[in-house]
């Protein structure tokens, strides 16, 4: 008899069926018991009349359950299996170190991460990744519909150019090389080819921070587009992308949303935006704290702005634009009217920075000046500069950190829960 999935059970009431999956839970009740089977679509309860069938079969063993489908209002999904015959397909060698059937995993985070192969099987943990997976799909499909081409750019690079610090060093056939901190230079180069590009790929940051917000390897959702007026065109594309990601979660991951009890934010047609200087004025007005001389926003300022956006605009998102040039990378385009400020932005989501983006320089001579201004030699940037030497349109883009997005959406205390196999300063396994 061919296998059906948990979600198909209600179409088979009165029939004998076979399900396969993991032994999520076994509850012996005396002369009978309940098996809860977990497959990729959900859970199924089965009543076992001869409980000795389960003797020696630990939780998480892979089993086959054969029996009759019966409507049962008290069972999960209103249906269960009666007269179940249980066969082990692949037995667990020992009992799991923590119970997977409980609503929340009862172990400390390091233990959970050590046992990722098991932890990720928990309905809540796997739902977190389902949100990540459909978010990637929503990101890609929204951009593809708008004429963007997917790219895949190298992760092994010749020089630690973008920030200089915090790069992982590789031995490349006896020569030094580095892991890419971002696809920034390549995605800009590819604007010269396809005008509109995106990439979903790992990035690597050798930041020696051990905090609940840092990963040393994460998935970056990058986009870059040409023929823009300024950074506001980039913000419009980003707004549409966020809407597409939320739509994908609602339509493709409804079960995960339910398990996690996610409150998905609405993405306004126009996300409220404050210039950096306005943002500091607003913080001053709201809190009495005068940070108007500061070149950056503190996490506390971001929280205040997030609360303001929610209260005044009913928006979980708020843009801060025009950060001072001194705090932005060399390829940042300045504001023609106020050259000390940039045509860049951060997007705050629930009071925390989620996305950074902006307009980039596009003229060759502006790059030469910007590099010289920072004391950098153009030689190290030769392949990148070639794009500008041969004509590039005004362009800009943004990058969303996938794990940070899921962390904010699910209001997780630690970004490590949003990665499958997180890498941090202390963790290289599993």
- Interface with a second copy in residues 168-187 (CB under 8 A): 168-173, 175, 177, 179, 186
**Contacts (CB under 8 A) with a second copy, residues 20-49:** 20, 22-23, 39-41
Q: Which stretch binds a second copy (CB under 8 A): 28-36, 242-250, 314-322, 417-425?
A: 417-425
Asked if 322 contacts 342 with a C-beta cutoff of 8 angstroms, the reply is yes
Please say which residue, 128 or 242, places its beta carbon nearer to a second copy. Answer: 128
* 154 belongs to the binding site for a second copy (CB under 8 A): yes
Nearest to 320 by CA among 289, 286, 282: 282
Kindly state the smallest distance separating residue 290's Cβ from a second copy, in Å. Answer: 39
Q: Find tokens 């269960």 and name the residue.
A: 80
The only residue of 12, 16, 115, 275 in contact with a second copy, by rule CB under 8 A:
115
**Contacts (CB under 8 A) with a second copy, residues 4-23:** 20, 22-23
Please say which residue, 202 or 373, places its beta carbon nearer to a second copy. Answer: 202
| C-alpha atoms less than 13 angstroms from C-alpha of 341 in its C-beta half-sphere | 17
* 139 belongs to the binding site for a second copy (CB under 8 A): no
* 290 belongs to the binding site for a second copy (CB under 8 A): no
* C-alpha of 216 from chain center: 14
Q: Which stretch binds a second copy (CB under 8 A): 47-55, 259-267, 404-412, 419-427?
A: 419-427
Total number of residues that touch a second copy (CB under 8 A): 95
Please say which residue, 62 or 352, places its beta carbon nearer to a second copy. Answer: 62
Q: What angle do CA 403, 205, 174 make, to 5 degrees?
A: 135
Whether the ω angle into residue 377 lies within 30 degrees of 0, i.e. cis, is: no
Asked if 347 contacts 353 with a C-beta cutoff of 8 angstroms, the reply is yes
Please say which residue, 18 or 277, places its beta carbon nearer to a second copy. Answer: 18
Maximum CA extent, the chain: 83
> What is d(CA 297, CA 280) in angstroms, rounded to the nearest whole number?
8
The kind and range of the H/E element at 399 are strand 395-401
Kindly state the smallest distance separating residue 298's Cβ from a second copy, in Å. Answer: 27
* 164 belongs to the binding site for a second copy (CB under 8 A): no
Give the sheet arrangement for strand 196-204, strand by strand. Answer: 149-150, 196-204, 217-226, 395-401, 352-360, 344-349, 317-321, 273-275
Kindly state the smallest distance separating residue 157's Cβ from a second copy, in Å. Answer: 7
DSSP string, 190-203: HHHHHSEEEEEEEE
* 146 belongs to the binding site for a second copy (CB under 8 A): no
Please say which residue, 124 or 301, places its beta carbon nearer to a second copy. Answer: 124
**Contacts (CB under 8 A) with a second copy, residues 376-415:** 382-384, 386-387, 389-394, 402
Q: Which stretch binds a second copy (CB under 8 A): 189-197, 236-244, 288-296, 305-313?
A: 189-197
**Contacts (CB under 8 A) with a second copy, residues 257-276:** none
Kindly state the smallest distance separating residue 308's Cβ from a second copy, in Å. Answer: 34
Q: Please state whether 391 falls in left (phi above 0), alpha (psi between -120 and 50) or beta.
A: left
**Contacts (CB under 8 A) with a second copy, residues 58-97:** 58, 60-62, 89-94, 96
* 296 belongs to the binding site for a second copy (CB under 8 A): no
Read off the tokens for 11.
């179409």
**Contacts (CB under 8 A) with a second copy, residues 334-363:** 362-363
> What is d(CA 97, CA 107) in angstroms, rounded to the nearest whole number?
9
Kindly state the smallest distance separating residue 88's Cβ from a second copy, in Å. Answer: 9
> What is d(CA 197, CA 195) in angstroms, rounded to the nearest whole number?
7
The only residue of 149, 166, 250, 414 in contact with a second copy, by rule CB under 8 A:
149
Question: Directed axis angle between helix 123-145 and helix 231-252, to 10°?
Answer: 130
The only residue of 56, 208, 288, 375 in contact with a second copy, by rule CB under 8 A:
208
């Amino acid at each position: 008899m061919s296998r059906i999935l948990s979600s198909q059970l209600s179409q088979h009431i009165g029939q004998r069926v076979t399900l396969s999956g993991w032994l999520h839970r076994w509850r012996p009740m005396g002369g009978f018991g309940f098996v809860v089977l977990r497959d990729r679509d959900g859970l199924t309860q089965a009543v076992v009349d001869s409980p000795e069938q389960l003797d020696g079969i630990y939780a998480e063993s892979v089993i086959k359950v054969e029996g009759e489908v019966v409507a049962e209002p008290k069972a999960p999904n209103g249906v269960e299996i009666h007269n179940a015959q249980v066969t082990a397909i692949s037995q667990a060698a020992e009992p799991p170190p923590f119970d997977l059937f409980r609503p929340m995993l009862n172990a400390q985070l390091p233990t959970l991460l050590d046992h990722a192969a098991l932890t990720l099987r928990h309905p809540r943990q796997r739902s977190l990744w389902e949100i990540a997976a459909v978010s990637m799909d929503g990101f890609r499909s929204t951009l593809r519909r708008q004429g963007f081409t997917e790219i895949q750019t190298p992760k092994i690079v010749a020089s630690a150019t973008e920030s200089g610090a915090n790069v992982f060093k590789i031995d490349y056939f006896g020569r030094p090389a580095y892991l890419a901190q971002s696809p920034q230079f390549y995605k800009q180069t590819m604007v010269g080819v396809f005008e509109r590009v995106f990439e979903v790929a790992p990035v690597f940051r050798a930041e020696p921070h051990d905090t609940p917000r840092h990963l040393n390897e994460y998935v970056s959702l990058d986009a870059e587009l040409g023929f823009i007026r300024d950074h506001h065109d980039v913000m419009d594309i980003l707004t549409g992308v966020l809407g597409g990601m939320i739509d994908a979660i609602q339509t493709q991951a409804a079960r995960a949303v339910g398990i996690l009890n996610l409150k998905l934010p609405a993405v306004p047609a126009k996300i409220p935006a404050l210039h950096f200087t306005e943002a500091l004025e607003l913080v001053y007005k709201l809190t009495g704290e005068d940070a108007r001389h500061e070149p950056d926003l503190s996490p506390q300022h971001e929280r205040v702005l997030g609360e303001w956006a929610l209260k005044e605009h009913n928006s979980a998102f708020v843009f801060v634009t025009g950060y001072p040039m001194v705090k932005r990378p060399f390829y940042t385009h300045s504001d023609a009217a106020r050259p000390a400020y940039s045509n860049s932005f951060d997007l705050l989501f629930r009071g925390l920075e989620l996305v950074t983006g902006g307009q980039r320089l596009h003229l060759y001579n502006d790059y030469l000046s910007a590099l010289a201004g920072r004391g950098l030699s153009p030689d190290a940037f030769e392949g990148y500069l070639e794009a500008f030497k041969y004509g590039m349109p005004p362009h800009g883009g943004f990058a969303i950190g996938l794990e940070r997005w899921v962390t904010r959406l699910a209001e997780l205390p630690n970004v490590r829960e949003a990665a499958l196999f997180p890498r941090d300063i202390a963790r290289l396994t599993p």
